[in-house]
Copies of this chain bind each other. A is one copy, B any other.
Amino acid sequence: MGATKSELFSEEDNRIATLAKAIGHPARIAIIKHLAVTKGCICGDLVDVLPLSQSTISQHLKALKEAGIIMGEVEGAKICYCINPVTFAQTKNYFEAFFAEIKNCCC
């Protein structure tokens, strides 16, 4: 196989897993942090800051965009990427709810 059998799990479990997976790479963490500090920047800026090629960074941006964590706004030839405030707040809430739901322990 190799593909996650997401149809076997709840919407909720899939949603938080998808968000966590999107965050689950150091480059994407670094991208999110940089977007937060700069309050939005273009891909080229990230290429200057991160030790990865342009095509690789573009792919990570795509992954974050598909998960709904960031968004891009066209500004002529450039695209200004920034954290999507709405969905990022939702993401935060999902994680908070998840961690609150656990808070138990142990054998």
Instruction: Write the residues of chain A forming the contact surface with B, with a CB cutoff of 8 angstroms.
Output: 4-6, 8-10, 13-14, 16-18, 20-30, 32-33, 36-37, 39-40, 50-52, 73, 80, 82-85, 88, 91-92, 95, 98-99, 101-107
14 pairs, A vs B, C-beta closer than 8 Å:
A8-B26, A9-B26, A17-B23, A17-B26, A17-B28, A20-B29, A36-B101, A36-B105, A39-B106, A80-B107, A82-B107, A83-B104, A83-B106, A84-B105
B52 touches A5 (CB 8 A): yes
The verdict on A105 contacting B92 (CB below 8 Å), with A4-B25, A14-B26, A21-B21 known, is no
- Tell me the complex Cα distance, A39–B11, Å: 23
